[in-house]
Amino acid sequence: MADILIADDSDAIRLVLKDILSIGEHNVIAEAIDGAEAVELYQKHNPQILLLDLAMPRKDGLTVVKEVIAYDPNAKIILITASDDQKVINQCLECGASSYISKPFDFNGVLKTITEIAQ
């Protein structure tokens, strides 16, 4: 069981993720609706995992990855993306993100990725 911060500007996506995570017995400790709030809530709650949408208002996913890793070099960040922009995904991974999940979500894939990253 991991303490998780969800950062996504879509209410629907956050709801789906919360449902998936509750079934996997993970604990959603906070939700951010934009990149700036994601950084603030990460620093406030220090979650085990940050589920981070790449395309968000105020700060994009790459900026959030850089700021969270600067704050906590051991942060575990799983990107959430509907984009096939492998260049941006690779930049985030090079800056310290742990993995990524593509939208639409595969229920078992989400839980498997979180379990692997949490260990």
Q: Read off the pTM.
A: 0.93
Q: What is the pLDDT of residue 107?
A: 85
Rounded average pLDDT over 35-60: 96
Q: Is residue 116 part of a domain?
A: no
- Domain of residue 43, residue span: 3-110
Residue 10, number of CB atoms within 10 A of its CB: 16
Tell me the average pLDDT across 19-34.
94
Tally of structural domains, the chain: 1
In a domain, 15, yes or no: yes
CA distance 114 to 119: 9
- pLDDT band at residue 9 under the 50/70/90 scheme: very high
The model's pLDDT over 53-111, given as tens digits with 9 standing for 90+, comes to: 998 999 999 999 999 999 999 999 999 988 777 888 899 999 999 999 988 888 888 99
